[in-house]
């Protein structure tokens, strides 16, 4: 048991309610290192919190109405309005709010913001801890409410290195990790990186892509191979999302309508994408390679800022490029119709410098022949600089301060970016410094599939050390 002399802060925990982290946080609460004054949890984990009166099942249903005291001032409401784009794009990914009119979205956001702001004030919260960079409808509103009220925020963010994670104090801190000092010695973190664009990414293997698209044979036959696990997963999903529906009939009706809609919208998307594809491309042309991000996805919708609208990034890039340069845009291999509908392609067609490239064209060949790569916050940027190609980024990314990375601005000189020579040893040093700030441990079960030789007991010890580092050192210095 970790001992503590005093309470360091009154924390609200958002999620972090799974088996890998739940007992760790409870231990710090019990020994007085922190006081957990509210814990927002998922329905399927309710029984694990029977001993924790401050735990509250995540609110997913807004049809029944809410009881709250209007708590946001006029100034607060203006700040909330400034966050509306970030919040709304996180709502768009949730079928509960599927195709609601804009004004209905605003009603829901307003109710949620007042509810959570009132809740944070009632418990006198001093800090809010998230299990990832805040995304999703309710989580994005809690984050906005905490920021509006001036409450400290922290997020545990899985690293690109399996089994490690970083701590951010805000979305803007991602890639900077300002509050987090180096926690590993220099000798532990020296990393040799092969100078090549191509990387072995576990989440981009052919099998993983098919799995994420719902086309994997393993996924299709999981019911027959592991029926108990399949039904357990479906029951957990139903418990988590059941409150979204008024009745079984409502559930069936909405799911059938949504299923039919998805089928035809997918067909329309694939047709539009094929129609937009450039028939011929030339490797001799001067072009910037812009691989599109999967959407909806946290890495774009949360880390992209205003450039979560990827076409805005492409438009701005086209505006500063020399007139004879092109932009080769390639779709993400996991992308479906979401955020790629009719007006996406109409808007894209308004840009004469843009060529929409077939998915069959090799991304690394496109990278190699480009003047430079442009991305919102994607792994393509890391692949580029580690292979010697400069990159322009529009959002927050973990490699943002590495050599060869340029943040987009009106003053950016495209030709100077293209001419920039990256010293590979400097990239290795920056990468080593980044890894030196990583904490060891896995706190989310979905990260286990990329972990090797996982040991639950060892992981528990690692998470105890990591959370002590957060609660005692980092938060203690921010009091």
Residues 6+ apart with CB under 8 A from 86: 140, 144, 301, 302, 305, 308
Written as six digits, the tokens of 255 are 């799911």
* pLDDT on residue 323: 94
* pLDDT on residue 224: 67
What does the alpha-carbon distance between residue 126 and residue 103 come to, in Å, rounded to a whole number?
Answer: 32
Cis check: omega of the bond before 296, within 30 degrees of 0: yes
What does the alpha-carbon distance between residue 110 and residue 87 come to, in Å, rounded to a whole number?
Answer: 11
What does the alpha-carbon distance between residue 293 and residue 301 come to, in Å, rounded to a whole number?
Answer: 10
* pLDDT on residue 263: 87
Distances (CA, A) of 435 to 175, 470, 471, 474: 11, 17, 21, 18
Query: What angle (nearest 5°) sits at the alpha carbon of residue 371, between those of residues 370 and 377?
Result: 80
Distances (CA, A) of 192 to 189, 353, 417, 426: 10, 38, 25, 11
Given a contact cutoff of 8 angstroms between Cβ atoms, the answer to whether 145 and 116 are in contact is yes
**Over the stretch 110-157, which tens digit does the pLDDT of each residue have?**
888 998 999 999 999 999 999 999 998 889 999 999 999 999 999 999
**Over the stretch 313-358, which tens digit does the pLDDT of each residue have?**
999 999 999 999 999 999 988 888 788 888 999 999 999 999 999 9
Let me know how many helices (H) and strands (E) the chain has, helices first: 20, 13
Residues 6+ apart with CB under 8 A from 451: 162, 163, 442
Q: What number of other Cβ atoms are within 10 A of residue 230's Cβ?
A: 15
What does the alpha-carbon distance between residue 154 and residue 133 come to, in Å, rounded to a whole number?
Answer: 9
pTM for the model stands at: 0.86
Parallel, antiparallel or unpaired: strands 164-168 and 439-440: antiparallel
Helix (H, G, I), strand (E, B) or coil at 203: helix
Candidates 359, 367, 167; CA nearest to 277 is 359
* pLDDT on residue 5: 47
Q: Give pLDDT < 50 ranges for the chain.
A: 1, 3-7, 61, 186
Q: What number of other Cβ atoms are within 10 A of residue 103's Cβ?
A: 7
For the chain, what's the residue count? Answer: 479
* pLDDT on residue 460: 96
Candidates 289, 293, 345, 352; CA nearest to 319 is 352
């Amino acid at each position: 048991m970790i001992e503590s002399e005093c309470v360091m802060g009154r924390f609200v925990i958002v999620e972090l309610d799974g088996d890998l982290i739940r007992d760790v946080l409870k231990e710090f609460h019990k020994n007085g290192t922190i006081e957990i004054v509210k814990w927002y949890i998922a329905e399927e984990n309710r029984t694990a919190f029977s001993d924790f009166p401050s735990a509250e099942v995540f609110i997913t249903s807004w049809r029944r109405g809410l009881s709250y005291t209007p708590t946001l001032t006029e100034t607060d409401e203006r700040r909330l309005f400034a966050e509306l784009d970030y919040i709304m794009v996180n709502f768009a990914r949730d079928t509960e709010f599927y195709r609601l009119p804009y004004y209905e979205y605003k009603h829901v956001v307003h109710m949620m913001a007042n509810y959570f702001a009132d809740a944070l004030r009632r418990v006198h919260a001093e800090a809010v801890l998230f299990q990832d960079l805040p995304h999703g409808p309710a989580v994005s509103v809690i984050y906005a409410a905490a920021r509006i009220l001036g409450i400290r925020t922290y997020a545990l963010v899985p690293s690109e290195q399996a089994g490690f994670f970083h701590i951010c104090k805000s979305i803007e801190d991602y890639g900077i990790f300002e509050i987090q000092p180096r926690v590993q010695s220099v000798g532990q973190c020296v990393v040799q990186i092969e100078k090549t664009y191509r990387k072995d990414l576990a989440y981009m293997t052919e099998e993983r892509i098919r799995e994420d698209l719902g086309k994997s044979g393993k996924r299709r036959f999981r019911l027959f191979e592991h029926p108990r696990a399949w039904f357990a997963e479906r029951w957990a999903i139903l418990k988590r999302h059941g409150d979204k529906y008024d009745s079984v009939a409502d559930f069936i009706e909405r799911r059938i309508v949504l299923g039919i809609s998805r089928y035809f919208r997918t067909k329309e998307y694939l047709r539009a994408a094929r129609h937009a594809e450039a028939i011929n491309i030339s490797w001799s042309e001067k072009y910037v390679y812009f691989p599109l991000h999967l959407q909806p996805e946290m890495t774009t919708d949360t880390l992209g800022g205003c450039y979560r609208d990827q076409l805005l990034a492409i438009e701005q890039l086209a505006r500063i490029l020399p007139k004879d340069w092109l932009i080769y845009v390639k779709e993400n291999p996991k992308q479906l119709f979401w955020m790629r509908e009719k007006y996406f392609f109409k808007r894209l067609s308004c840009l004469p410098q843009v060529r929409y490239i077939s998915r069959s064209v090799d991304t690394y060949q496109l990278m190699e022949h480009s003047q430079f790569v442009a991305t919102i916050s994607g792994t393509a940027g890391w692949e580029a600089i580690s292979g010697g190609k400069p990159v322009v980024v529009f959002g927050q990314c973990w490699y943002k301060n590495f050599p060869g990375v340029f943040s987009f601005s009106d003053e950016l000189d495209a030709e100077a970016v293209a001419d920039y020579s990256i010293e590979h040893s400097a990239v290795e040093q920056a990468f080593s410094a980044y890894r030196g700030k990583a904490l060891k441990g896995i706190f989310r079960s979905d990260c286990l599939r990329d972990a090797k030789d996982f040991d639950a007991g060892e992981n528990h010890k690692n998470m105890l050390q990591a959370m002590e580092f957060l609660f005692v050192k980092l938060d203690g210095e921010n009091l």
